[in-house]
């Protein structure tokens, strides 16, 4: 367990120091996953490369600007790339998208139908996350909504919520941990 934590800390500090070996390792670890996700969801090779490049730069910038303080850099980078691809699919540039409500959207962008168990699992995850989000306090819901849905910077959020930027970052981290914990509790209670 301690080894994983050291690896995580090394990745964050490597990005902060622009350590090419660390960045190349993360790049080689995450790109194949992002590529597979984009190809599976109506993308092509060039789109996979472009999306990953944008995500990599955003990840690097967030770490340098201390918007990402600790955690799994690989997972964070994959999430950024996945969100960028989802944003593209929802945009007017992507003509095939008919309906962006979450269930219809997933059906439109899936090339290969998911096995029924995977669909059920995905729906349970989404349902548990939504229920957990609804159970969060007003401050947490507002902060997470501003950051993840409105894509506001931590500086903007801290001003809007009347707190110091480092306090807003810490609060976002605590809110995400609470959301994960609640979501997991809800999901486990459904089984």
In the listed set 53, 85, 111, which residue is the last one of a domain according to the structure? 111
- State whether 90 and 134 are in the same domain: no
Q: Is the pLDDT of residue 4 over 90?
A: no
- State whether 107 and 125 are in the same domain: no
Residue 40 domain boundaries: 1-111
Mean pLDDT of 146-155: 80
- State whether 80 and 168 are in the same domain: no
In the listed set 67, 96, 111, which residue is the last one of a domain according to the structure? 111
**Average confidence score pLDDT of the chain:** 78
Question: For position 150, which CATH number holds?
Answer: 1.10.10.10
- State whether 120 and 44 are in the same domain: no
- State whether 186 and 146 are in the same domain: yes
The pLDDT of residue 33 is 93
- State whether 129 and 154 are in the same domain: yes
- State whether 8 and 94 are in the same domain: yes
- Cβ atoms of 178 and 170 within 8 Å: the answer is no
Mean pLDDT of 29-58: 90
Instruction: Give start and end residues of each alpha helix (H) in 65-152.
Output: 73-90, 102-109, 116-135, 138-144
The predicted-structure confidence for 6-42, as pLDDT tens digits, reads as follows 555 788 888 888 888 988 898 999 999 999 998 988 8
- State whether 49 and 83 are in the same domain: yes
| Total count of domains within the chain | 2
- Cβ atoms of 42 and 79 within 8 Å: the answer is no
In the listed set 96, 111, 126, which residue is the last one of a domain according to the structure? 111
- State whether 101 and 127 are in the same domain: no
Longest dimension (CA), the chain: 47
- Cβ atoms of 146 and 157 within 8 Å: the answer is yes
Mean pLDDT of 150-157: 83
The pLDDT of residue 92 is 64
């Amino acid at each position: 367990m301690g080894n994983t934590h050291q690896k995580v800390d090394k990745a964050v500090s490597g990005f902060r120091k622009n350590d090419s070996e660390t960045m190349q390792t993360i790049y080689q670890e995450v790109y194949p996953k992002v590529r597979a996700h984009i190809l599976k969801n109506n993308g092509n090779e060039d789109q996979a490369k472009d999306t990953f490049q944008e995500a990599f730069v955003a990840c690097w910038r967030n770490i340098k600007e201390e918007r990402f303080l600790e955690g799994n850099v690989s997972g964070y980078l994959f999430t950024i790339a996945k969100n960028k691809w989802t944003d593209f699919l929802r945009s007017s540039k992507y003509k095939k998208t008919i309906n962006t409500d979450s269930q219809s959207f997933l059906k439109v962008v899936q090339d290969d139908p998911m096995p029924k168990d995977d669909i059920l699992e995905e729906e349970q995850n989404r349902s548990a996350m939504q229920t957990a989000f609804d159970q969060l306090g007003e401050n947490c819901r507002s902060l997470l909504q501003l950051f993840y849905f409105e894509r506001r910077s931590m500086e903007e959020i801290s001003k809007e919520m009347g707190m110091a930027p480092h306090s807003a970052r810490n609060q976002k981290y605590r809110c995400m941990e609470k959301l994960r914990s609640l979501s997991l509790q809800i999901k486990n209670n459904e089984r």
